[in-house]
Structure 1
């Protein structure tokens, strides 16, 4: 993940496993840029290292849980 990773993508992964949304670790936000117009179209929370770590833990747990069902 890059320093400007969207927290939305990370929280989507977390919510998919835990069934709930989590608050970001910081209040910092980044612009969302339209690939079509290259204009800002919104903002999303910035992913702090703590957010990335939490998402990785949840993804790992979801992967391990799914493998056991196979």
Structure 2
């Protein structure tokens, strides 16, 4: 996901909380590997997302019809 770096964006400013790469290989807690290569930004709508706990023991998979900052209400 590409960061927008706008001051009003809670995901991208002041430091990005998202990985800013065009292709990411995500390794789930159970060892399953998935390549995520869909070009998105923090304003992209209708996405499936993965949140990984900082302890690296839990994954949450969600979907949203609104942008990720709107979904997370940050």
TM-score by length of 1: 0.25
Give the strand-richer structure, 1 or 2: 2
Give the helix-richer structure, 1 or 2: 1
Larger RCO (CA under 8 A, 6+ residues apart):
1
Q: Which has the larger radius of gyration?
A: 1
